[in-house]
Amino acid sequence: MKQKNILIITNKIVFPALDGGALAMKNLTELLTKLDYHLDIICISKHNNSDDKKNNEIKINDRINQYTFYKCMRFNLYNFLKSIYQRNAYQSMRFYDFEIKRYIQNKINQKIYNYIIFESIFTTIYIRNLSLNSETKLIYRAHNIEHKIWTDLAKNSFLRKIPYLFLANQIKRVENKIIKYVDHIFTLSEDDYKYFTNFNSKKTHYVPVTFEIQKNNSKKIKNSIVHLGAMDWKPNHEGMKWFMRNVLPKILNNKNNIYIGGKGMPSYYDKYASKYTHIIGEVKNAKDFIKDKEILFVPLFSGSGIRIKILEAMSLGISVISTAKGAKGIPVTHNHNIVIANTPEEFKEGIQSLINDKDLAKKIGTNGQKLIQEKFSQKSVIDKVKTILNGKD
């Protein structure tokens, strides 16, 4: 039987999965290997503290190989002006590098891939620069509608409103044209699915990230709340600044144990560290970091797509408190399988309700697991993906 191959190009390291985006990518690789595909993953990881580093190859297992490039993405005025001249998106151009392109092309020349998957709009910068086999089909996997994130950021920032809107318009042009260059678009949320169906309904598929509910027998840290998110992603940074300034002072006197983890943690967050506030930074294993905490909190005010960290917490039976924006894309009900809070006072009251009322916290956690079973089970998604891919193989 002829071996089936897929090349995946990502905008971050997949193994180990250190944030929600990487977890969504890892989730897809597990699904594809169950469909008997062999995977080559080329990761382009942001690394602003040094020049580009040489490719690092890791054999994950018999079916998955990962190749990582570390790309310096500090602001570059020349590339920014070039993006204006070429009517391209500066955010995507940061991920482009001729040496990486040549490496991808060599892979394509050496092996026949049934599919090439571009994870996030940023990696699609390579599509028009590659010479492709006629048998190879292209998939763009939309983790969110990127221009909506920048539009939200503009609404929430008076000083940076104009540059954020400019970046939003740049990336919107790319997102609205991407349908012309790919055979399929996979979206992680139904809202994003509806957006892309406006351009081509036949090519667009809602393929959610899947989870299986898990027994979580970890001994919980008393009165513990946890946040995990990449702090080099602007919506996370924006949300945590809001939380630190507006919510943290309201809950410190209650002796709650607060844990904040995520890569790219700004050093000035250390000033908030105390006996009860633990600034962790990057963690080695996301699930291990959250499973012994009582509550996951998600203070998000910008963005689209779906918050993978909420789904993972729900799969573990952990109760979640989030803004409406953070929970967007997940079919949740306030005080049934999640607590929704949009103001500092609502966050304070919601956290204390979950801390003080263990029956309420247990109900929220149990109903969250039921939601995972009903809406995000693996079997239905595997069947869906199999149908899409087999229809084109």
Residue 35 and residue 19 share a domain? yes
The pLDDT, as a whole number, for residue 365 is: 97
Residue 386 and residue 371 share a domain? no
Q: What is the pLDDT of residues 207-223, one digit of tens each?
A: 999 998 988 889 999 99
44: in domain: yes
| 282, 18 contact by CB (below 8 A) | yes
CATH of the domain at 253: 3.40.50.2000
Q: How many structural domains compose the chain?
A: 2
Q: Cα separation of 5 and 24, whole Å?
A: 20
Residue 282 and residue 244 share a domain? yes
Residue 250 and residue 198 share a domain? no
The pLDDT, as a whole number, for residue 85 is: 84
Strand pairing category for 257-261 and 277-281: parallel
308: in domain: yes
Residue 237 and residue 345 share a domain? yes
- CA torsion, ordered 136, 137, 142, 143, to nearest 10 deg: -50
Residue 204 and residue 290 share a domain? no
215: in domain: no
Which residues form the domain of 355? 224-375
Residue 105 and residue 191 share a domain? yes
The pLDDT, as a whole number, for residue 48 is: 67
217: in domain: no
Low-confidence ranges of the chain (pLDDT < 70): 48-55, 392-393
107: in domain: yes
Residue 294 and residue 194 share a domain? no
Q: Is 250 helix (H, G, I), strand (E, B) or coil?
A: helix
Residue 229 and residue 205 share a domain? no
Q: Cα separation of 212 and 348, whole Å?
A: 31
**Buried b or exposed e, range 302-323, using 16+ CB within 10 angstroms:** bbbbbbbbbbbbbbbbbbbbbb
190: in domain: yes
**Buried b or exposed e, range 123-162, using 16+ CB within 10 angstroms:** bbbbbeeeeeeeebbbbbbbbbbbbbbbbbbbebeeeeee
Residue 295 and residue 180 share a domain? no
Residue 103 and residue 151 share a domain? yes
